[in-house]
Structures are given as C-alpha cells and as structure tokens.
C-alpha cells in the first residue's frame, strides 16, 4: 500500500502562487489548493493553470469569514459565490475548507445541502505564523504520516520557498504526494468533516 500524503495550500491565489506551480510542475507533484473566491476572481489564469496542471482546487469561501459567526444565509452565500467563480474557471469541486477550520452543525448543514464535504487537516505547519522555511519544513516532516493532510498557505513566500525541499524529503521518506480527492477517494459524504485520509 502506498504511503500517501496530501499537501494543501490555502488562501490564494496570490503573488507567489505561480512560482509554486512552477516548482510543483518541475517535481511532477500534484497538490490541493483551497482558494478564496475573490482571489480566484483576481487571478483567474492562475486557477486555470492549477486545473491544467492536474491540481485539485477546493472552495475556501468567497471572502474568508469565520463561518460559524455569520449565520446560515451568509454561509450559503460565501460558498455559492466561490462556487460560481470557480465554475467559470473550469473547477467543479465538492470540497470546502472552512476558514480557520471553524465550523459547526449549521455550517455542516449548509455544506451538506450543497453536496459539499468539509476538509480540515491533521498536520498544521503554522507557516502563516513562523514565516520560516526551516520551521515550516520541520513541522511537515515531524507530522508526516500515512494519510496526512498538511496545511500550508501559498500566500507566504517562505512557504513557497520551502515546498521543493519538503517534496524531496517526503519522497525520500517513501511518501507519494496526492491530491485530497485522491486521498479521500470517491465516497466522500456531504456535510462530513475530514482531517486525514
Ligand atoms: Ni484560510
């Protein structure tokens, strides 16, 4: 059985995402991008390239609020606006990552209504806080295990700089890098929350 692991990148696309796509292409690796809808609208070509390169793209809402704080109608609007912009860029996804990993029964119900599953993570690099190539790399390697979902953010240049070394180290350790849809397989349940494969 393969030791699979999924790298995920939240909050983009941003100014450094194209460089990350270049690096992933050079290493022949596919990842998962949970994009913010308004950022996808601002960088449509980057999203199209994610799709063309075989990456998975998921819904990280339109404007990145804490969903439990906004009420069910706004949760629906946040999901639907992102879905609409992604659809226009060739992305169909049933995977949602709630901002900050913040969710509750109401969010789950709204997601379920739309056929969306929620994807969290079980390896948190805290790259947004440390902004450090070495620390981010160490946190991935320390947390790596079969089926892990690793949280990073492609809006930080230090994270983008860390990724080639992370990929090399994971592959040296025997991991196969896969997308979240590959990791979770076809039986994802709408409304359910996944933290690993
Ligand atoms: Ni986020």
175-185 pLDDT, tens digit per residue, is 999 999 999 99
Mean pLDDT value of segment 66-78: 98
Q: What pLDDT shows up at residue 132?
A: 97
List, in order of start, the domains of the chain with CATH numbers: 3-194 (3.20.20.370)
Task: Give the Cα separation of 93 and 181 in Å (integer).
Answer: 9
Strand, helix or coil for residue 185: coil
Of 95, 85, 151, the C-alpha closest to 124 is 151
- CA of 64 relative to ligand 1 center, distance in Å: 6
Catalytically annotated residues = 10, 153
5-33 pLDDT, tens digit per residue, is 999 999 999 999 999 999 999 999 999 99
Instruction: Check whether 1 has a pLDDT greater than 80.
Output: no
- CA of 61 relative to ligand 1 center, distance in Å: 9
92-119 pLDDT, tens digit per residue, is 999 999 999 999 999 999 999 999 999 9
Q: What pLDDT shows up at residue 2?
A: 83
The angle that helices 72-88 and 105-113 make with each other, rounded to 10 degrees, is 40
Residue 89 pLDDT level (bands cut at 50, 70, 90): very high
Angle subtended at Cα 88 by Cα 178 and Cα 114, rounded to the nearest 5 degrees? 70
- CA of 1 relative to ligand 1 center, distance in Å: 32
Of the chain, the percentage scoring pLDDT greater than 90 comes to 98
Of the chain, the percentage scoring pLDDT greater than 70 comes to 99
């Amino acid at each position: 059985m393969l030791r699979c692991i999924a790298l995920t990148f939240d909050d983009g696309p941003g100014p450094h995402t194209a460089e990350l796509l270049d690096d992933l292409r050079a290493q022949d690796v596919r990842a998962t991008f949970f994009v913010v809808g308004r950022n996808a609208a601002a960088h449509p070509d980057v999203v199209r390239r994610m799709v063309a390169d075989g990456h998975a793209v998921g819904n990280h809402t339109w404007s990145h609020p804490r969903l439990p704080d906004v009420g069910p109608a706004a949760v629906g609007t946040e999901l639907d606006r992102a879905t609409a912009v992604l659809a226009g860029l060739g992305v169909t996804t049933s995977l949602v990552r709630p901002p900050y990993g913040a969710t509750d029964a109401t969010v789950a119900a709204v997601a379920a209504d739309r056929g969306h599953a929620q994807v969290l993570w079980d390896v948190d690099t805290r790259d947004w806080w440390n902004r450090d190539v070495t620390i981010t790399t160490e946190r991935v390697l320390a947390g790596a295990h079969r089926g892990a979902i690793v949280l990073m953010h492609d809006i930080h240049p230090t994270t983008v700089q860390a990724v080639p070394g992370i990929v090399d180290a994971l592959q040296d350790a025997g991991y196969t890098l896969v997308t979240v849809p590959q990791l979770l397989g076809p039986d994802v349940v709408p409304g359910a929350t996944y933290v690993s494969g």
